[in-house]
Structure 1
């Protein structure tokens, strides 16, 4: 008995210092914990037995930076658990913005995992991605993130967006509405919990991991000192823009679009009239496409000046050219010539750039084709067709001559100049290989056409060619040449 009692006393004496030491160590931590910084340094410096450590979950508070590197014995790196029961599964994800810079929307099926602070995306499952070194995990920090449903940024159904505090945007979608709702609620609860626990959240610079200092007016920072100046409420609202539960990111885009539309409407309403621009000299009167009477009145002549100089140029160096008026000139050069005429610049058709006579004849034919009303006015079209049906030649000539005398003076004088010129072209038919039939085919649809294509176009085309050909043959009698 005595030996047993002595042994118990020794054993108790050996255990007593250890328990008191442990108690003293606990007392030291309690008494010396005057500030958060001292408490963190004490917790780092002290080494406790595994059995003495309290079995509590590690706080993931952002301000407690010393706990981020804590390793759970026997468990490897700590695995964060979501705030709600949620299994990892495949979701459709599209990243449309990174740090405020828009990206091309590209939907991809991603293996999605939700933790207490992050949302992880990987193209492969967790086990498979660990074996493949090339697989990259997309990490979305939920602290300060805004989660909301959206129908504007995608035509898919069951789409919600996650907007981080750095300005990155992600679209998430699931074909099943229940699955989408489950993930939406879970991610939103995690983001709200992190934001509240952090007293708002730190604003992060774009393309940087640095955190900006908190503004004193933000929640969780404390009230400003009485001696500090009152902050501008507008500035405070601009900084606290992310604190709202809903962030309408598309508002700026729609506002820009509406602004552009409004400016365009105002411009169209306030734009000056053609007459005003012409009076100011910003727009000059055209030659091509101008009514014949208006053009002749403006130039003070009964024949347009451009028609006269083209006729003179052809008679000077084009009467013996093979296929004159039948061969087409270079269209780009013709348009250049037209531009110069419309700008009322001095035109010298003897210049080397107009050496191709087919360019001149092409411009002349284009001038007649672009008249708002043809050289043979619309109201005379059917009358000329009826006159063309007369079988007796002399009666037909008199009918044509009578109709031409009834034309307005600009039309009549221009027609006389043109047909007398074409008659001289026929005089060189052996060299230029042009005939009355060929000229009728070229100038028939150029000089006359009906106002409304109500009839048969093929029949009208035949009449047009026959009328021009007949007037050309009888031009001396009709025009008294």
Structure 2
């Protein structure tokens, strides 16, 4: 039988040994995280390295936990979701059902990654509000997300502005020349012809078109999320940016594919043409 004093002393020694072993294990783990070797048995890492190593281990543990968690899902898209109030029953493509309620029925992504950007329409009355705000306040008009959380309202107002111009951005004088250029089968010759006609636009029209194409090119860079490539944007902006001089429905229908192609070419070759 051990005396009480001898038993307590033995417990202290065992505790020191356990602590020493735990310390060595921790040091070895820190060394592995840093990719270095502990040179002397029982040696210690420099304190700043220990702090960095702890962060490395925490990161590794978090990643390992996520990898082995069956409930974890990998999402490729990053969104900017905002609570949104839909007017009337709104169809949810995710759950294949209608969202009901008076206010805040769901959330909606806003920004360049919003699906169907420029293709999806916002509410007409809100678009008119934006238009009147610009007519009334000019550059001081507040179109922030706090006032208009639905990005489709802003894109709808931009399209409305271009549609209502008395002279389109692609002017009536150059319309037929652009259509003729679009009909050229050889891609290089077609691009050269489009560039020549661009030079005929008035400076204000040219600069407006250039600025818009830079923006639309950015939209296409997020095609993975918004599903809007240059061709889709051409379908949307073709009739918006160019109209035939004569008000002929037949001519408009006949030229729609060429209008789309012109805008598509402008977007895809923005860095070359402007």
Q: Which residue of 2 aligns with 1:352?
A: 146
Q: Deviations over 1:213-233 (max 9, x none)?
A: xxxxxxxxxxxxxxxxxxxxx
Match 1:476 to one of 267, 271, 274: 271
Note the C-alpha offset of 1:360. Answer: 0.4
**Equivalences, count:** 163
Q: After superposition, where does 1:22-421 map in structure 2 within 5 Å?
A: 318-344=111-137, 346-421=140-215
Structure 1, unaligned stretches of length 5 or more?
1-316
Alpha-carbon separation, structure 2, partners of 1:324 and 1:468: 16
Alpha-carbon separation, structure 1, partners of 2:245 and 2:192: 25
Q: Deviations over 1:132-174 (max 9, x none)?
A: xxxxxxxxxxxxxxxxxxxxxxxxxxxxxxxxxxxxxxxxxxx
Alpha-carbon separation, structure 2, partners of 1:437 and 1:392: 18
Q: Deviations over 1:418-468 (max 9, x none)?
A: 011101100000001112221111001000010103453321112211211
- Which one has a bigger Cα radius of gyration? 1
Match 1:462 to one of 257, 262, 265: 257
Relative to the length of structure 1, the TM-score reads 0.33
Alpha-carbon separation, structure 2, partners of 1:391 and 1:461: 17
Larger fraction in helix: 2
1:328 alignment partner, SS class: coil
1:456 alignment partner, SS class: helix
Alpha-carbon separation, structure 2, partners of 1:451 and 1:366: 19
Q: Deviations over 1:279-333 (max 9, x none)?
A: xxxxxxxxxxxxxxxxxxxxxxxxxxxxxxxxxxxxxx51111111011011111
Note the C-alpha offset of 1:352. Answer: 1.5
Alpha-carbon separation, structure 2, partners of 1:394 and 1:416: 20
Q: Deviations over 1:2-31 (max 9, x none)?
A: xxxxxxxxxxxxxxxxxxxxxxxxxxxxxx
Does structure 1 conserve the Cα–Cα contact (< 8 Å) formed by 2:174 and 2:200? no
Alpha-carbon separation, structure 2, partners of 1:456 and 1:349: 36
Alpha-carbon separation, structure 1, partners of 2:170 and 2:252: 17
Does structure 1 conserve the Cα–Cα contact (< 8 Å) formed by 2:116 and 2:227? yes
Q: Which residue of 2 aligns with 1:443?
A: 237
Q: CA RMSD in A?
A: 1.4
How has the CA–CA distance of structure 1 residues 355 and 461 changed in structure 2, closer, same or farther, with 3 Å as cutoff? Answer: same
Q: Deviations over 1:369-409 (max 9, x none)?
A: 00001000001111011111112212111111111122111
Alpha-carbon separation, structure 2, partners of 1:355 and 1:344: 20
1:395 alignment partner, SS class: helix
Note the C-alpha offset of 1:361. Answer: 0.2
Q: Which residue of 2 aligns with 1:138?
A: none
Alpha-carbon separation, structure 1, partners of 2:251 and 2:200: 27
Note the C-alpha offset of 1:348. Answer: 2.2
Q: Which residue of 2 aligns with 1:300?
A: none
Does structure 1 conserve the Cα–Cα contact (< 8 Å) formed by 2:244 and 2:252? no
Alpha-carbon separation, structure 2, partners of 1:391 and 1:475: 20
Note the C-alpha offset of 1:364. Answer: 0.2
Note the C-alpha offset of 1:351. Answer: 4.8
Relative to the length of structure 2, the TM-score reads 0.57
Does structure 1 conserve the Cα–Cα contact (< 8 Å) formed by 2:127 and 2:154? yes
Alpha-carbon separation, structure 2, partners of 1:340 and 1:349: 9
